[in-house]
């Protein structure tokens, strides 16, 4: 099981490495966000932007889902960082009981996502943990 | 064709159902499509048969109207599900067309297929694009004379948009006209093709782009096409230039955001008009062109009327492409003060210019939002009242562009948006997200306007019975008086309506039909609602999400007296 789980991750990690960007997945540590008085760190803010540049077209504004893709503020409560990275990099297909297919594309080749994967994760976790309200967050001043 | 006529008026001469009796409308029969995604478009009725399409997997049902929609045959293509996520805003499809014993379906994977009307067997099929590059099919194919015309979706994936004509008999390509590129690709004559009366000049489809950006320049063609048999011209609009970050693509980006008039046989462009040069807001120009002859300043003109995403209602002379009227059809529109009638250019207000404010800057309170004052949901025109009936959005936005890199088949967007009710900007105490309006296109004036809680994302139908129909996102089919807008009837269908209302006569009876089935771009806000709840807009409970009104599911509801 470990091996089976590890292999796709290694592929994912290689994809990232080949693009020249390291995530923290190899160290196994999930990236952390900072939210203070409703304001967020630079990374989390960037995650907000990048999420709403690509992911929101299916996963909805403020990660609250749409009529055809899940609300990540819920999903991320039970998905660990490794699974998050794997899903984004490789995509996912699910066939439901009616035979309808739900599909998420693989973003492993999309630098607009891979370069910002950790920031997107920071943003989504801040939302899933309920510490960041909907809408455009403000940055913590430098 | 699904638009009722070549002119895209969506007007029916039927008058059995009229302003006096529409209140007695009853449900005659219903039909579940078995698909949960967003259901745009409407059924096509040929004699005793109805042809009904669905979103992905793009089923087509042939149904017998003599037996309340009993299924003659069903066709479901085999498509690679990997096409699903490269469709920007749900896996919608806007309907099928019919000619010469064949039913034409344009699949999500950009395959155009001709089905035998009696059996559903494939007569021919042809690939009109590569889904691997983000080229997909959502629009309804349209038939004129011996050809079937299809466009392409994928403006958010950096495709090079085009309109293509295929021979109805064998599926052979007759011509393809790109929106951007050299004259050989755009099918333009540098001396004869005109823009507001002036020759466009050599390679106008590359001259206003930096380097090779026109190759991934967007200008997709996923709207509705109309046809004037007398002039033998086909009319349609092109979509946004890719990317949404205007700073990355200097220039006018011709011919994105453009109304095209092409010769239906050869594809040669007769005239063009670019409505939004160098788009900075995603105001796709793909909305339908409605052809109507109208008196302008006392003189009858062959006009073309177009309600653009950018919030201006345009009236042009469809013979010459002369601009006659360009006025805001939602008073909230603020990104431009007006359109200069000589140059045709919108006069952009600096504070709403996402290009002038620059990348990584959040430009706030722009009206309309990217989904436009109106999206693809078609308007209707009644020659009786001489009014246009327009389903609209009343939504504004903040827009922050940023640098993106192009990778084939991956999203190429480059901006983040937040959307909210127009009332937040107009500060008039309103919180509606849509209006259903009547418009005088000879003057550019709103005659009446009915506020709707949500965006009106359903195509309108005008009839000789002095009744106009449309659907709402909560799921109501509504009938209103064509003169006054007074509501005469409403019925709550099983799901939110983003389909187009259709009417037909079978036997001695007039029927009204509409697809419900929430989704599409409107479905993106389905779960979340729009932002605003947290921003102190004041109105209590104004933005309760749509999910508290309705749920998913494709159903055709058929009404009669």
Q: How far apart are the first and last CA of chain B?
A: 25
The confidence score (pLDDT) of residue B524 equals 64
Contacts of B535 in chain A (CB under 8 A): 135
The confidence score (pLDDT) of residue A141 equals 86
Residues B528, A104: C-beta atoms closer than 8 Å: no
Distance CA B164, CA A17 (A): 42
Q: Give B471 to chain A, closest Cα distance, Å.
A: 18
- Contacting B residues, span 59-98, partner chain A, CB-CB under 8 Å: 81-82, 84-86, 88-91
Contacts of B526 in chain A (CB under 8 A): 60, 65-67
Distance CA B318, CA B301 (A): 9
The confidence score (pLDDT) of residue A11 equals 37
CA dihedral B3, B5, B7, B12 (to 10 degrees): -90
Q: What is each CA distance from A135 to A106, A123, B365, B424, in whole angstroms?
A: 27, 12, 14, 14
B498 near B472, Cβ under 8 Å?
no
The H or E element containing residue B523 is: helix B520-528
> What letter does residue A104 receive in the DSSP assignment?
E
Residues B36, A100: C-beta atoms closer than 8 Å: yes
- Better-predicted residue by pLDDT, B213 or B417: B213
Q: Give B98 to chain A, closest Cα distance, Å.
A: 28
Q: Give A80 to chain B, closest Cα distance, Å.
A: 23
Band of residue A4 on the pLDDT scale cut at 50, 70, 90: very low
Residues B413, A49: C-beta atoms closer than 8 Å: no
> What letter does residue B129 receive in the DSSP assignment?
-
User: What tens digit of pLDDT does each residue of B198-224 get?
Assistant: 999 999 999 999 999 999 999 999 999
Q: Tell me the average pLDDT across A9-22.
A: 39
Instruction: Identify the closest residue of chain A to B407 by CA–CA distance.
Output: A110
Distance CA B160, CA B539 (A): 44
- Residue B507 near chain A (CB below 8 Å): no
Residues A134, B528: C-beta atoms closer than 8 Å: yes
Interface residue ranges in chain A relative to chain B, Cβ cutoff 8 Å: 48-54, 56-58, 60-62, 64-68, 71, 91, 93, 98, 100-105, 107, 109-113, 133-136
Q: Give A62 to chain B, closest Cα distance, Å.
A: 8
Contacts of A46 in chain B (CB under 8 A): none
Domain spanning A2-139: CATH 1.10.760: yes
**Which residue, among B413, B410, B417, has the nearest Cα to B525 in the 3D structure?**
B417
Distance CA B216, CA B88 (A): 16
User: What tens digit of pLDDT does each residue of A48-76 get?
Assistant: 999 988 898 888 888 988 878 889 999 99
Rounded to the nearest 5 percent, the helix, strand and coil shares of chain B are 10, 40, 50
Answer yes or no: is pLDDT of B236 > 70.
Answer: yes
Q: What are the residue boundaries of the structural domains of chain A, listed by start? A: 2-139
Residues B38, A66: C-beta atoms closer than 8 Å: no
Residue whose structure tokens are 């409970």: B541
Distance CA A49, CA B414 (A): 9
- Burial class of B342 by CB neighbour count within 10 A (0 to 12, 13 to 18, 19+): exposed
Neighbour order of strands in the sheet with B233-237: B198-199, B194-195, B269-274, B258-263, B233-237, B226-228
Q: Three-state SS string across B394-440, please?
A: CEEEEEEECCCCCCCCCCCCCEEEEEEECHHHHCCCCCCCEEEEEEE
Answer yes or no: is pLDDT of B89 > 90.
Answer: no
The structure tokens listed for B84 are 């699903």
B495 near B475, Cβ under 8 Å?
yes
Contacts of B409 in chain A (CB under 8 A): 109
Answer yes or no: is pLDDT of B272 > 80.
Answer: yes
- Burial class of A84 by CB neighbour count within 10 A (0 to 12, 13 to 18, 19+): buried
- The answer as to whether B116 is a domain residue is yes
Answer yes or no: is pLDDT of A27 > 50.
Answer: no
- Better-predicted residue by pLDDT, B463 or B155: B463
Domain residue limits at B231: 11-560
Please provide residue A89's backbone torsions phi and psi, each rounded to the nearest 5 degrees.
-70, -40
- Percent of chain B exceeding pLDDT 90 equals 86
**Which residue, among B336, B392, B398, B393, has the nearest Cα to B366 in the 3D structure?**
B398
The DSSP-derived string for B225-284 is -EEETTTTEEEEE--PBS-S-GGGS-S--TTTTEEEEEETTT--EEEEEESSSS-SS---
The confidence score (pLDDT) of residue B549 equals 87
The confidence score (pLDDT) of residue B538 equals 32
CA dihedral B50, B51, B55, B58 (to 10 degrees): 150
- The answer as to whether B2 is a domain residue is no
- Residue B37 near chain A (CB below 8 Å): yes
Contacts of A67 in chain B (CB under 8 A): 37-38, 90, 518-519, 523-524, 526-527, 552
Instruction: Identify the closest residue of chain A to B364 by CA–CA distance.
Output: A136
**Which residue, among B309, B141, B317, has the nearest Cα to B225 in the 3D structure?**
B141
- The answer as to whether B3 is a domain residue is no
Domain total for chain B?
1
Upper half-sphere CA count for residue A102 (Cβ side, 13 Å): 14
- The answer as to whether B533 is a domain residue is yes
Q: Give B191 to chain A, closest Cα distance, Å.
A: 41
- The answer as to whether B58 is a domain residue is yes
Residues A57, B413: C-beta atoms closer than 8 Å: yes
User: What tens digit of pLDDT does each residue of B259-271 get?
Assistant: 999 999 999 999 9
Distance CA B374, CA B390 (A): 8
B474 near B496, Cβ under 8 Å?
yes
- The answer as to whether B239 is a domain residue is yes
The confidence score (pLDDT) of residue B534 equals 41
Q: Tell me the average pLDDT across B378-384.
A: 98
Kindly report the length of chain B. 561
Band of residue A97 on the pLDDT scale cut at 50, 70, 90: confident
Nearest to A67 among B88, B418, B552 (CB): B552
Answer yes or no: is pLDDT of B355 > 70.
Answer: yes
- Contacting B residues, span 283-302, partner chain A, CB-CB under 8 Å: none
Distance CA B520, CA B371 (A): 11
CA dihedral B2, B6, B9, B12 (to 10 degrees): -70
Distance CA B100, CA B105 (A): 14
- Burial class of B491 by CB neighbour count within 10 A (0 to 12, 13 to 18, 19+): middle
> What letter does residue A124 receive in the DSSP assignment?
H
Contacts of A56 in chain B (CB under 8 A): 416, 524
pTM of the predicted protein model: 0.91
Residues B407, A91: C-beta atoms closer than 8 Å: no
The structure tokens listed for B360 are 């990584």
- Contacting B residues, span 508-527, partner chain A, CB-CB under 8 Å: 518-519, 523-527
CA dihedral B442, B445, B451, B453 (to 10 degrees): 70
- Contacting B residues, span 337-376, partner chain A, CB-CB under 8 Å: 362
Catalytic residues of B: 282
- The answer as to whether B1 is a domain residue is no
Q: How many CB atoms lie within 10 A of CB B66?
A: 11
- The answer as to whether B5 is a domain residue is no
Residue whose structure tokens are 């901006």: B415
Q: Give A54 to chain B, closest Cα distance, Å.
A: 6
Q: Tell me the average pLDDT across B301-318.
A: 98
Nearest to A53 among B402, B407, B519 (CB): B402
- Burial class of A67 by CB neighbour count within 10 A (0 to 12, 13 to 18, 19+): buried
Residues B531, A62: C-beta atoms closer than 8 Å: yes
Distance CA B411, CA B156 (A): 6
B232-251 CB burial, b ≥16 within 10 A, e <16: ebbbbbbbbbbbbbbbbbeb
The structure tokens listed for B273 are 């008009």
Answer yes or no: is pLDDT of B157 > 50.
Answer: yes
A45-62 CB burial, b ≥16 within 10 A, e <16: bbbbbbbbbbbbbbbbbb
B552 near B517, Cβ under 8 Å?
yes
Q: What is each CA distance from B395 to B88, B258, B485, in whole angstroms?
A: 20, 23, 22
CA B179, B182, B187 angle in degrees (round to 5)? 60
Contacts of B402 in chain A (CB under 8 A): 49, 53
Residues B84, A48: C-beta atoms closer than 8 Å: no
Contacts of B531 in chain A (CB under 8 A): 61-62, 134-136
Q: What is the CATH number of the domain that holds B66?
A: 2.140.10.10
The structure tokens listed for A94 are 């699910």
Q: Give A29 to chain B, closest Cα distance, Å.
A: 27
In B355-408 the beta strands, taken as DSSP E runs, fall at 363-366, 380-382, 387-393, 395-401
- Percent of chain B exceeding pLDDT 70 equals 96
């Amino acid at each position: 099981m470990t091996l089976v789980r590890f292999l796709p991750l290694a592929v994912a990690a290689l994809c990232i490495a080949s693009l020249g960007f390291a995530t923290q997945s190899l160290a196994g540590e999930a990236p952390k966000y900072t939210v203070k008085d409703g304001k967020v760190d630079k990374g989390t803010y960037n995650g907000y932007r990048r999420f709403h540049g690509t992911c929101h077209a299916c996963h909805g504004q403020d990660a609250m889902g749409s009529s055809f893709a899940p609300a990540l503020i819920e999903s991320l409560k039970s998905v660990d960082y490794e699974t998050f990275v794997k899903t984004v990099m490789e995509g996912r297909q699910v066939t439901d009981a009616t035979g309808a297919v739900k599909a998420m594309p693989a973003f492993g080749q999309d630098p607009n996502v891979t370069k910002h994967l950790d920031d997107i994760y920071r943003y989504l976790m801040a939302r899933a943990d309920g510490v960041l309200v909907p809408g455009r967050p403000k940055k913590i001043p430098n | 064709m699904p638009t009722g006529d070549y002119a895209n008026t969506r007007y029916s001469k039927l008058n059995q159902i009229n302003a006096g009796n529409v209140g007695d409308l009853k449900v005659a029969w219903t039909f579940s499509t078995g698909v949960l995604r967003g259901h745009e478009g409407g059924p096509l009725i040929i004699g005793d048969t109805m042809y009904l399409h669905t979103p992905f997997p793009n089923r087509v049902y042939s149904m017998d109207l003599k037996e309340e929609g009993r299924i003659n045959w069903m066709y479901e293509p085999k498509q690679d599900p990997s096409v699903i996520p490269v469709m920007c805003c749900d896996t919608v499809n806007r309907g099928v067309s019919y000619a010469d014993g064949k039913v034409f379906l344009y699949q999500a994977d950009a395959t155009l297929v001709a089905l035998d009307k009696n059996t559903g067997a494939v007569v021919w099929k042809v690939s009109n694009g590569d889904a691997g590059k983000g080229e997909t099919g959502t629009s309804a194919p349209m038939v004129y004379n011996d050809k079937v015309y299809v466009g392409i979706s994928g403006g958010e994936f950096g495709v090079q948009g085009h309109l293509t004509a295929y021979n109805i008999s064998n599926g052979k390509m007759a011509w393809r006209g790109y929106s951007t590129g050299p004259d050989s690709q755009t099918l333009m004559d540098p001396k004869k093709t005109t823009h507001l009366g002036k020759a466009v000049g050599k390679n106008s489809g590359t001259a206003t782009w930096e380097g090779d950006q026109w190759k991934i320049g967007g200008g997709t063609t996923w709207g509705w096409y109309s046809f004037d048999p007398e002039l033998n011209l086909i009319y349609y609009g092109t979509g946004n230039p890719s990317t949404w970050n205007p700073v990355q693509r200097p220039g006018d980006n011709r011919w994105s955001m453009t109304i095209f008039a092409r010769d239906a046989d050869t594809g040669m462009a007769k005239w063009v008009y670019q409505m939004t040069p160098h788009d900075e807001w995603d105001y796709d120009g793909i909305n339908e062109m409605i052809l109507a002859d109208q008196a302008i300043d006392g003189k009858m003109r062959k006009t073309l009327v177009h309600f653009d995403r950018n919030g201006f209602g345009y009236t042009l002379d469809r013979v010459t492409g002369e601009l006659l009227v360009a006025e805001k059809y939602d008073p909230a529109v603020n990104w431009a003060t007006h359109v200069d009638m000589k140059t045709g250019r919108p006069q952009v207000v600096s504070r709403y210019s996402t290009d002038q404010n620059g990348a990584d800057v959040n430009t706030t309170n722009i009206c309309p939002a990217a989904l436009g004052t109106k999206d693809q949901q078609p308007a209707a025109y009644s020659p009786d009242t001489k009014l246009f009936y327009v389903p609209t959005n009343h939504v504004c936005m903040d827009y922050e562009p940023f640098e993106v890199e192009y990778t084939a088949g991956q999203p190429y967007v480059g901006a983040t948006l937040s959307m909210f009710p127009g009332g937040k900007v107009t500060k008039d105490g309103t919180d509606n997200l849509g209006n259903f309006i009547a418009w005088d296109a000879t003057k550019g004036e709103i005659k009446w306007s009915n506020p709707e809680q949500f965006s009106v994302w359903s195509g309108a139908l005008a009839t000789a019975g002095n009744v106009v129909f449309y659907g709402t996102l909560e799921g109501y089919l509504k009938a209103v008086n064509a003169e006054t807008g007074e509501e005469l009837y409403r019925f709550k269908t099983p799901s939110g309506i983003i389909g187009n209302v259709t009417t037909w006569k079978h036997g001695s009876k007039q029927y009204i039909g509409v697809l419900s089935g929430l989704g599409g771009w409107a479905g993106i806000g389905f779960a979340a609602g729009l932002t605003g709840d947290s921003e102190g807009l004041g109105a209590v409970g104004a933005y309760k999400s749509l999910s508290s009104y309705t749920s998913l599911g494709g159903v055709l509801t058929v009404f009669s007296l």
